[in-house]
Chains A and B, each alone.
Chain A
Amino acid sequence: MNHSLHFQDSNWPTAFLSWLDSSQHSFHSSLLMHSMATRKEEYLYPEKTLGCLKELDHLTLHPHQLNAAKKVVFEMGGRALLADEVGLGKTIEAGLILKEYMYRGHVKSVLILVPASLGGQWQSELFVHFGINSIVHKGKKEWRSSPVTIATIDLLKRPPLREQIEEHHYDMVIVDEAHKLTNPKTLNYQFIHSLSKSYCLFLTATPIQNKSEDLYHLSSLLRPGLLGSLQEYREGCKDEKEKIVIKKKLDDFMIRTRRKETDISWTKRSIHIEWIEQLPYEKELYNSIEQFYRSQKEMNMHAFSHITLLKQGCSSIIALLKALNREQNKEISSQLGINLDVTPDQLITAKAQRILAFIQNTDEKVIVFTQYRATQLYLSWFLKQHNITSVPFRGGFKKGKKQWMTDLFREKAQVLIATEAGSEGLNLQFCKYMIHADIPWNPMKLEQRIGRIHRIGQKDDVEIYYLLNKDTIEERIWHVLQEKVSLFQYIIGEHDDLLSSTTKKEINRYLEDALLHSRSEKEMRLKLNQLEHFYELSSAKEQS
């Protein structure tokens, strides 16, 4: 037929003709009237409007989420990096975009790639908020052809599943925690590159992990060619004028909303620092390691592993003893004559006692974060001795167990003891207390931890407790960071410059060098002053 109209069902005109030629004619006036009225109500909308919102009147969407969805659908051609800060609802934004495309009939087959711990959460959120049914692919044959499939990259990236997945064309691919796709040499990157996809969304709060080139590699998957060649990009990042051009191009595929840019009235975040005096045995053990480390330094034999030991010593005795028991630390143990065979009483730490006291004084739920699994197990055991039930959470758990632990924490247990690994994307806004049993080296991780509870949906002010051991490496780190607030803010993203040629990894290295390798307090402060001066200059340039 001679027209250029596009029908969703291209056979409709022929079907209408066949119907006219047949005698199967029926008519129900009222049904026709209602059908027409409903269609008009459902599908008539002004320009640049998300039509699917008519089906989502139960959902309270924030302006930044609506704007992000509109920008992706109407301006970016459906290929975008959603890089909002932690806790701003990137999953909801992605769900909204997906729903809109499904509503318009553009998307029928979807592949959602998420960390193992988040599969169930994605499935539940898609169904509850958007009425989208999906299956979580665990490798079984019959699950491969579902319209909306949720899976992990790790499951699909290797044969034979990889070949089977690559045979399909997906109308939309969504990758959560996409910062894992910043290295083109990895199997993850190559797998995503090999997928045939129309629309594509990457979600991450930290689009730059190590260097500004990370953004280039993400853009190569989403919009190849947008930023030119890698060499051109590198050169561009060094030139102030070129940087402006690149930033404009980034706006063509990346949406990054900061907390302070939203109109959400965030609940207050109170930070409490508690200085803890180590118990005698703890102190003795820690001091002996530190002493050993100093003597090594004098002989220029200092190694970074010693710093890790000191940090473990600040976390818990058991974490330190476990580390000393490892093969690579046997020499230190023997030189120091450390007795690795200790009684449970000797394992008690001042931090554990403080955590216990805190929990005993409240009926509210509490999350305790630690970097070390040994500390996690120890705290769990210690609290159990005082009739406090806790649930553990760590990266090694299978998806079902992670979901189970989260549910147990929500419904039954008062305490969740978590390590960072695997906690990304967790929604624990029903809890308002968080205790850091130790502090990670990378302050971004602190923000990630806090983001678990201080996110959209949190109704109460959140209380964050840092437990820091006095006269230890923790005190040095903390004091310097406090003193150099501007540096700290830079690292956690307040002055975040995604195109800076100096990257976060480099800053961490400078900080480590200044804090731990300086031969004197004076040298350390000098190095930090230089670093701070450098960023003040960068910031001034940026503003001008």
Chain B
Amino acid sequence: MSNALHWELVHEFLDYKGVQVTKGPSQSMVHLNEELDRKFMNRPFYWHYRDATNQAGEPMTISILKNDGSPTPPNSIIATPLNPIFKQLVEAAHLETRMFKGYETAESASSHYAPLYPWIIIQGLFTMDPPGAPSYWREAAVSLTTGSIKTGENLFDYKSLKGTLPDGHVTMSPIVQFERAIQKCLTELDSTGKTLFTNEIAEAKGLKDKMIPFLNQLKEKKDLREYEHLSALYEPKIRFDYPIGGLVYARNN
């Protein structure tokens, strides 16, 4: 796991949450706000006491260290996935981006309003159960004006998306319903997954066949809970993990 990426992600998250951060190359000083202190610093008694006595609490100031060097300052968090608070911060950052809405910007200014066309996009990680297959990151997008579908990677330039409608632009109304568009995306992703894992599905079926005598024994011995759980685990299935859903207003339809 790249600690550098997580380090940046957590700093982006803290910045997004409006927290005061003094960032250094290997150590950052973070003055948390009340929301983050209550959520991550695991001091319910302190906040309970402040709430009960109707007093404002003082959020903690913490240090985030890139490496586990010594001596560590008080209230410090090491930026490693094994540190439970750091891991929670990483997960919270991911949670904030589970769904997004962004706008592209037309390349050249025009006297007319530039039209932006709505797209529904779903992206995430393909993998398989039982374990053994490789994993892939894939996206599918459906135009809400034409119903056309695109699949692949980096379908839009996410880096240049804006959070609000840029000046001189106008959004086109969707024709395809959101529910229909999500359905089309998932069907497309389903088909992509089946193509990606053709060989692995056959291999996984082989493992399941190998386990059938064992599963039958469990069934015969009336270990039904164990039988059901294991049958489900050994059943080949395509997983779509860490999905990100977006509504993108793009230049093209």
Contacts and interface: CB of A to CB of B under 8 A. Distances in A.
Binding partners A and B: yes
Interface of A: 1-8, 12-13, 15-17, 19-21, 25-49, 51, 54-55, 57-58, 73-75, 77-78, 100, 104-106, 130-131, 133, 169, 171, 196-199, 223-226, 252
A272 to B, nearest CB: 40
B240 to A, nearest CB: 4
B238 A6 contact: yes
Interface stretch (B47-55, B69-77, B109-117, B123-131): B123-131
B189 A5 contact: yes
B60 interface: no
A64 B66 CA distance: 31
A45 B223 CA distance: 35
Given A16-B122, A17-B178, A41 B5 contact: yes
B82 interface: yes
Interface string B125-161: 1010111111111000000000000000000001111
B194 to A, nearest CB: 8
A36 B157 CA distance: 13
Contact of B2 (A41, A49, A198): A41
Interface in B180-219: 182-183, 186-187, 189-190, 193, 200, 207, 210-211, 213-214, 216-218
Given A13-B186, A32-B158, A225-B217, A20 B247 contact: yes
A129 to B, nearest CB: 9
Contacts of A38: 2, 5-6, 9, 90, 94
Contacts of B193: 5
B179 interface: yes
> Number of contact residues on B: which range applies?
35 or more
B60 to A, nearest CB: 21
Ranked 7 nearest A-B pairs via Cβ = A131-B82, A225-B217, A27-B163, A25-B101, A54-B1, A3-B190, A16-B245
14 contacts: A8-B239, A12-B243, A17-B179, A25-B99, A28-B97, A29-B102, A31-B16, A32-B102, A34-B9, A35-B9, A38-B90, A44-B135, A47-B133, A198-B233
A376 to B, nearest CB: 39
A225 to B, nearest CB: 4
Contacts of A42: 1
B240 A131 contact: no
Contacts of A37: 5
A172 to B, nearest CB: 11
B66 to A, nearest CB: 14
Contacts of B125: 39, 43-44
Contacts of A199: 233
A198 B230 contact: yes
A252 B120 CA distance: 47
B65 interface: no
B71 to A, nearest CB: 19
A420 B127 CA distance: 47
Contacts of B130: 74, 77
A254 to B, nearest CB: 15
B90 A43 contact: no
A134 to B, nearest CB: 13
A74 B12 CA distance: 37
Contacts of A28: 12, 16, 96-97, 163
A169 B229 contact: yes
B4 to A, nearest CB: 9
Given A20-B178, A197-B226, A225-B217, A44 B136 contact: yes
A104 B1 contact: no
A31 B93 contact: yes
A199 B130 CA distance: 12
